[in-house]
Structure 1
Amino acid sequence: MDFLMSNVFLRIDILLLVFVRFLGFFATSPIFGGRNAPTYAKIGFSFIVSTIVLSTMPTMTVTYEDTILGYVLLVLKELTVGAIFGFLVYIILTIFYLAGQLIDYQIGFSMISVLDPLSNIQVPITGNLYYFMVLTILLVTNGHHKIIQALFYSYQVLPIGQAVFNSELLGHYIVILSDIFIISIKVASPIIGAILILDFALGILARTAPQMNMFVIGLPLKLILGLACLVVVMPLFTMIYNYVSKELFEKLFFIIKGMIP
């Protein structure tokens, strides 16, 4: 208790800045944020992790203008840093929403969407399935622990108040968004390829037997083939998760380094 009093609570100004960065992350990340986690739980967990960070880094210091405005600006800066990290995790995991949207467009589910009560947005059916599968694998494999470790690492390379927000950081986000589109197409490519082959077969069949209604025949065939491909791809989902999780941590460290002055 004496250790905590001397190293944590007597440095309440630094504790608040550490707390704000974690709070910004937990409020925006899809794993810890959303309506599934109570607000008091986010605040309490952020405070607990902040005390651990400050107690394990006793030499952590911060410089700012000795005015209320200077400290408030520093708090907003740290909140923005945490929100950027959480938003990055969110946009990386939206790979599966986008892949599901591409799959649904091919198999005929594009007009059907469900309301995600956690994020309060309309999401595709297949994308919602992929998203919750990857969240389950992430929690089972302790991926959320690695994300918190990445936040701990951020204090070593990006001390409090040292983050910079410039056009280079925006360029990093643009590169990440372009990579997200590429990865989502790769995730959906097996089913898209199978449906494309079926479209070619239906086109040849329409030329050889024009009296057949390919629109009536094609819709159920695409649905059956798409669902069959989903069943076949499911055992390979662990490989997909490993690839996406590797990209997630690489991009997270990429953004952290992008804010180093």
Structure 2
Amino acid sequence: MTDILIVDFVVVIFIFLRVFSAFIAAPIFGHNAIPIVIKISLSIVLSYIIFLTIDRSAFNVPVSLWSLTVYGAKEIITGLTMGFMLHFVFYGISYAGTLIGFDMGLVMAEMFNPMEETSNNVIGEAIYFASVIILFLINGHHYIIRGLVSSFDLIPLGKFTITNATLELLINYSAGVFVIAVKIASPILVSFFLIHIAEGITARAIPQMQIFFVTQPLKLGLGFVLLASITPIYIYVIKNLLKGYEDSLYNLIKAMSN
């Protein structure tokens, strides 16, 4: 009886390490504004629920302190990797807003992002917080929880391995930040590219005109008009990007299980 209790206790600890690591690495869940007591409490509750659902018969408890440390480190790395995955989507969305703000002439207009604890362009922050709202509206926070639960079926406790497929996926997802940014920012970037061409032609045709003083208010106003007009399209694109995160997370879990 005592041996069974020891095994169950060790299993719960390992499950907790993976769940808690995923929570603190994920955006929103890992924000400093959320008290650590709440994070730990949620992790304990979810860990116990997962403990009741997984098959523990095949798990062999490490007998040495070194083995316990290695198993614990593997669970922490697994959780951190899964939690950090969602950041790639938000980084791309925020960077798209930065590109738009740069073309609108709002390079120096920055605001503090409490989620990432960095300063960013105001347009980037507006799109970032809009995407956070969309994430909750589509129940995107459930993606991380479902991914955590399914990860214990594909990646048994202590069986995490770094494979070439895992590294390749992480590299592709990190490169996808720029793809996401271009997808979101391209309508406005193309519009401003045409304005820049018109600026160049006008500057050559009428060199006496202070072209930048004339076009700067135009670009600022046009930028806000374009943002307002294509907001429904942005919502649709961002919603699909966040929904695609669940498939990306599942592919990463499969890669880590090989």
Per the shorter chain, which TM-score range?
over 0.9
In the TM superposition, what is the alpha-carbon distance from 1:73 to its structure 2 partner? 1.4
Show the 5 A alignment for 1:12-51.
12-51=9-48
Q: Provide the rounded CA distance (Å) in 2 between the counterparts of 1:154 and 1:107.
A: 43
Contact 1:98–1:184 (CA under 8 A) maintained in structure 2: yes
1 CA distance for matches of 2:128 and 2:5?
38
**Contact in 2 for aligned 1:107/1:222 (Cα 8 Å):** yes
State how far apart, in whole Å, the 1-side matches of 2:43 and 2:110 are. 34
Identity of aligned residues (%): 28
Tell me if structure 1 keeps the 8 A contact 2:159–2:257. Answer: yes
| Aligned equivalent of 2:255 | 258
Distance 1:9 1:35 in 2: 33
Question: Would the aligned equivalents of 1:9 and 1:15 in 2 still touch at CA under 8 Å?
Answer: no
Aligned counterpart, 1:122: 119
Give the aligned residue type for 2:48.
T
1:247 aligns with 2:231: no
Given candidates 222, 225, 228, the residue that maps to 1:225 is 222
Distance 2:9 2:50 in 1: 13
SS at match of 1:259: helix
Question: Do the aligned partners of residues 55 and 144 (structure 1) sit closer, same or farther apart at CA in structure 2, a change above 3 Å counting?
Answer: same
**Which position in structure 2 is the counterpart of 1:170?**
167
Please provide the CA RMSD for this pair: 1.8
Contact 2:140-2:243 within 8 A present in 1 as well = no
- Pick the aligned partner of 1:186 from 175, 183, 186: 183
So what's the TM-score if we normalise by structure 1?
A: 0.91
Contact kept in structure 1, 2:163 and 2:255, CA below 8 Å: no
Give 2:93's aligned residue.
96
The residue number in structure 2 matching 1:67 is: 64
In the alignment, the residues of structure 2 paired with residue 159 and residue 20 of structure 1 have an alpha-carbon distance, to the nearest angstrom, of: 13
In the superposition, the TM-score normalised over structure 2's length comes to: 0.92
Q: Which residue of 1 aligns with 2:145?
A: 148
1:78 alignment partner in structure 2:
75
Structure 1 letter corresponding to 2:31? G
User: Which piece of structure 1 moves more, 56-65 or 106-115?
Assistant: 56-65
1:204 is aligned to: 201
Deviation string for 1:132-175 (max 9, x for gaps)?
Answer: 11111111221111221111111111111111014442222111
Aligned length: 255
Does the 8 A contact of 1:191 with 1:226 survive in 2?
yes
Aligned residue type for 1:69 = W
Q: For structure 2, which runs of at least 5 residues remain unmatched after alignment?
A: none
CA distance in 1, matches of 2:41, 2:6: 15
Moved over 6 A (4+): 7-10
Q: Is the 8 A contact 1:25 1:84 kept in 2?
A: yes
**Which residue does the alignment assign to 1:3?**
none
Pair 1:212–1:60, CA change in 2 (3 A): farther
Query: Deviations 1:97-116 (Å, cap 9, x if unpaired)?
Result: 11011111111112222222
Tell me, in whole angstroms, the C-alpha distance in 2 between the residues paired with 1:162 and 1:203: 60
Moved more, 47-56 or 176-185: 176-185
- Give yes or no for the alignment of 1:106 onto 2:106: no
Note the alpha carbon deviations across 1:213-239, whole angstroms, 9 max, x for none. 111112111111111111112122321
Task: Tell me the residue number matched to 1:132.
Answer: 129
Give the distance between the partners of 1:174 and 1:118, measured in 2 at CA: 24
The answer for the alignment partner of 2:49 in structure 1 is 52
Asked whether the 8 Å contact 1:8–1:15 carries over to 2, the reply is: no
